[in-house]
Chain A
Amino acid sequence: MRIACPFCGEREVGEFSYLGDASPKRPRYTVDDGSDPAALEEAFYDYVYLRDNVAGTMREYWYHGGGCRSWLIAERDTRTHEFKSVQAAPGAGASRAALPGE
């Protein structure tokens, strides 16, 4: 399997490590912002544990740790292993992130 790192170009899968589904977003909160603790726990439960696990195109995290140490967000078909797109995580490099994190 080969992954086209947007910075380094196409590389062996062995240079990357995999984290999984990039769709769940870490809930944002500040302590004592009045949000219901149970709801917050539920939201984190979803984030940490529940997965769509699609048979088809999936948005997922890869880390080019054996290369430029950038976190990447790829779209890949889990039935064929074909990559549709590979993008850098918002915070890769030094550009000021327009949007907040994933």
Chain B
Amino acid sequence: MKYSIFSLARAAMTGHRGWTRAWRDPAPKSRYDVIIIGGGGHGLATAYFLAREYGIRNVAVLEKGWIGSGNAGRNTTIIRSNYMLPGNVGFYELSMKLWERMEQDLNYNTMVSQRGIINLYHSDAQRDAFARRGNSMRINGIDAELLDAEQIRKELPFLNYSNPRFPIMGGLAQRRGGTARHDAVVWGYARAANDFGVDIIQNCEVTGFQRTNGRITGVETTRGPIAAGKVGMAVAGNTSRVASMAGLKLPIESHVLQAFVTEAIKPLIPGVVTFGAGHFYISQSDKGGLVFGGDLDGYNSYAQRGNMPVMEDVCEGGMAVMPMIGRVRMLRQWGGIMDMSMDGTPIIDRTPVDGLYLNAGWCYGGFKATPASGLVFAHLIARDEPHREAARFRLDRFRRGAMIDEKGQGAQPNLH
């Protein structure tokens, strides 16, 4: 049923009894052309694009819990394409373009809101680094502005400009950056993929791979074996666990990243603001909660929860740059399992195992990548060659020394 104000009004007359399931709840078939492991944003988007762009519709998405139960539902909903290095720049801009038409593509309001993102800088060195980044963006046709302290003051008057430590000198702005409603992205892709005939199968955990002379021919699941022509993994956070079932060892560690939301308050913070002298970034949801976060806890973890030192560190950053939020109360904290790669950049590639495709290593940048990740992964699976905008996200780049390291931290995942 098409969603619109009219269908909504019609439904209201019958007490909304007319609405049907946003996506079916089918039993798994015995075989699919393509199986996507992982019913998060990336997996569902991949299925959607396989059906829409590449005409492959005999597709199943297998989710061990409820769709969106992983990082898709545990992030701070920020979208941006302010990347610097070849390989990243084009990819994240492709994603941004897909965000900009998502509601119309999906007929689902995912509340993509381009209220802008501003990265504050506090030293000449930081300004120069942002200038390099901003120019890379502009050279690639992406919007970017370098703002000085006065311009920042005009836009964000509530910041702490009298702090003698790390004074705010300016910021790098991307006006097209912003936020989107994370759950809605999952549900929107699920509904749209479903309409193309894709089977979305929840509570179906993959427990192993079926292989015939080396090639993957299907998966074992908690709901029985399912045969498949090709299998794609989009299970960020658990990549190593699933990959190990296929005997793969990867340049990835799982780390916990915490995020926080406050009680709902009237509009206070317009866009997304990141503090350049500490670990703190913040935005305000349409519901009114301040959504904020900071750095990784820093140790390998599958626990989906973090500890107090990072909560304190993040709030200290907040009170350094915007001390007017001091009396606003933190309502909830949660933790996501980040698939941290060894250079801070994702991996989208074939694997050494024939028929098994890998979409992983998103670090803390997975949400903003959701649409493009789905498109390029679908391309890879359908065409058996990397999409032009994902040509550098290769698995062997570490072996070759072709890392894509925006932060320059090297092979230490907890520093990316």
Q: Which A residues are within 8 Å of any B CB, using their own CB?
A: 1, 12-14, 17-21, 45, 48-55, 58, 60, 76, 78-81
Contacts and interface: CB of A to CB of B under 8 A. Distances in A.
Contacts of A81: 299, 301, 303, 307
Contacts, number: 69
A47 B411 CA distance: 10
Given A53-B252, A58-B300, A80-B303, A18 B411 contact: no
A81 B300 CA distance: 9
A52 B249 contact: yes
Interface string B374-416: 0000000000000000000000001100000000000111100
A50 B309 contact: no
Nearest to A79: B302
22 contacts: A13-B307, A18-B298, A18-B299, A20-B253, A20-B414, A21-B300, A45-B398, A49-B398, A50-B251, A51-B240, A51-B249, A51-B250, A51-B251, A51-B253, A52-B244, A53-B252, A53-B300, A55-B240, A55-B302, A78-B254, A79-B303, A80-B303
Given A53-B253, A78-B254, A19 B240 contact: no
Nearest to B249: A50
Q: What is the interface of chain A mostly: helix, strand, loop, or mixed?
A: mixed
B300 A13 contact: no
Contacts of A19: 412
B309 A14 contact: yes
B342 A49 contact: yes
Interface of B: 238, 240-241, 244, 249-254, 298-303, 307, 309, 342, 398-399, 411-414
A32 to B, nearest CB: 23
A78 B398 contact: no
B143 to A, nearest CB: 35
Contacts of A58: 300
Given A51-B249, A51-B250, A53-B241, 17 more contacts: A1-B307, A12-B309, A17-B298, A20-B300, A20-B412, A21-B253, A50-B249, A51-B240, A51-B252, A53-B252, A53-B300, A55-B241, A55-B302, A78-B254, A78-B301, A79-B302, A81-B307
B232 to A, nearest CB: 20
A1 to B, nearest CB: 5
Question: Chain A CB within 10 Å — which of B241, B249, B302, B399 has the most?
Answer: B302
A80 B342 CA distance: 24
A51 B342 CA distance: 10
A17 to B, nearest CB: 8
A20 B302 CA distance: 14
A13 B249 CA distance: 29
Contact of B300 (A12, A17, A78): A78
B338 to A, nearest CB: 12
B390 to A, nearest CB: 20
Nearest to A55: B302
Given A18-B299, A51-B240, A53-B240, A13 B251 contact: no
Nearest to B251: A49
Contacts of A52: 240, 244, 249
A92 B254 CA distance: 28
Contacts of A13: 307, 309
